[in-house]
Amino acid sequence: MLDGTPITRPKGQQSPPEGETQPGFGACKLMDFELEMGTVVGKGNKLGEPIKMSDARDHIFGHCMLNDWSARDIQKWEYVPLGPFLAKNFASTISPWIITPEALAPFKIALPAQDPAMLPYLKDDDLHAYDVNLQVHLKTPKMEDKWHTLVNSNMKHLYYSVAQTLVHHTCTGCNMSAGDLLGSGTISAPEKEGYGSMLELCWKGTQPINLPNGEERKFLQDGDEVNLVGTCKGNGFTIGFGDCKGKVLPALDDSHFF
């Protein structure tokens, strides 16, 4: 969904209440964002034919901002054995602009050597990302029009190159199509101010964030708005991806489920 689309708080199965054995069902209490970059596929591959590393960048159309909204309590319950499934499927927000690799070329930056070394099919002779400054801003209902910067990070903190992500995704023969979107995973800087999710910033809810107006946040509350912003600063020019914004709406009442 594009910037500005509101996000309804999901409901789902959660860990059994204390002293019980059956999982509960209800509104997510641990609503979160994830700061990611999205990669849009420009050229697909045939079913059963993986993309080689030497060809991977010919399949990349461009990049955008991506908020991979997450329901952490639903995720905790389903993670074993399913992995993040329903905790991730209810919403993803992308920015309005897709920036091509050609436009980002002046901001190309080498990634650190990978240790341990990748298997041969994942060895990238051009291991790089881009110097994209990333920020996450939060606005609560009580803050009116004042946004608070929660996160300062950068795309250069990726561990894997985008090409490696694409190659690994297709190594089983999965066929990509033009317009498919791949997420980078959470982009977190080494310092706490660069952590790319509430889960990390608040350390699973044990370290609340103090906002300038006196409010606290462990996870997102109804009415909170989150905006992801990415910019590249050149010599006399700036490339931006546009806002990647969403507002959390209350969960639907039980009449929609029973």
Domain encompassing residue 172:
27-251
* Degrees to nearest 5, angle at CA 137 with 179 and 79: 60
Nearby residues of 20 by Cβ (< 8 Å), 6 or more positions away: none
Q: How confident is the model at residue 99 (pLDDT cuts 50, 70, 90)?
A: very high
Q: Which residues does 91 contact at the CB level (< 8 Å), separation at least 6? A: 1, 5, 7, 8, 10, 69, 246
Distances in Å between the alpha carbon of 197 and those of 19, 31, 81, 159?
Answer: 30, 10, 23, 17
219 lies in a domain?
yes
pLDDT of 2 higher than 80: no
The answer to pTM > 0.75 is yes
| CATH code (residue 191) | 3.90.850.10
- Asked, for residue 7, whether it belongs to a domain, the answer is no
Contact residues for 214 (Cβ-Cβ < 8 A; gap 6+): none
CB 251 within 8 A of CB 11: yes
Look at residue 18 and tell me if it is in a domain: no
Residue 3 in any domain: the answer is: no
State both tokens at 146: 């004042």
Residue with tokens 């910037």: 3
Query: In this structure, is residue 198 part of a structural domain?
Result: yes
Q: Which residues contact 7 (CB under 8 A, 6 or more apart)?
A: 69, 90, 91, 93, 246, 247, 248, 249
Residue 194 in any domain: the answer is yes
Task: Give me the pLDDT at residue 17, please.
Answer: 86
- Return the closest-CA partner of residue 108 out of 124, 128, 123, 126: 128
Question: Amino acid letter at 114?
Answer: Q
pLDDT at 83 over 90: no
Reported as a single tens digit per residue, the pLDDT across 104-137 is: 999 999 999 999 999 999 999 999 999 999 999 9
pLDDT of residue 142: 96
Answer whether residue 20 is part of any domain. no
CA distance readout (Å), 138 to 87, 216, 223, 244, 246: 21, 12, 11, 12, 10
Q: Is the pLDDT of residue 3 over 80?
A: no
Spatial distance between the Cα atoms of 196 and 70, rounded to a whole number of angstroms:
12
Q: Given this model, what pLDDT does residue 106 score? A: 96
pLDDT band at 204 (very low <50, low <70, confident <90, very high): confident
Question: What pLDDT was estimated at residue 130?
Answer: 98
Omega prior to 6 cis, within 30 of 0 = no
pLDDT at 213: 94
Q: What is the pLDDT of residue 205?
A: 87
pLDDT digits 0-9 by tens, 146-178 = 999 999 999 999 999 999 999 999 999 999 999
Is-contact 29 121, C-beta < 8 A? no
Burial 215-247 (b: 16+ CB within 10 A, else e): bebbbbeeebbbbbbbebeeeeeebbbbbbbbb
Q: How many CB atoms lie within 10 A of CB 69?
A: 24
Number of domains in the chain: 1
Report yes or no on 55 lying in a domain: yes
Q: What was the pLDDT predicted at 85?
A: 87
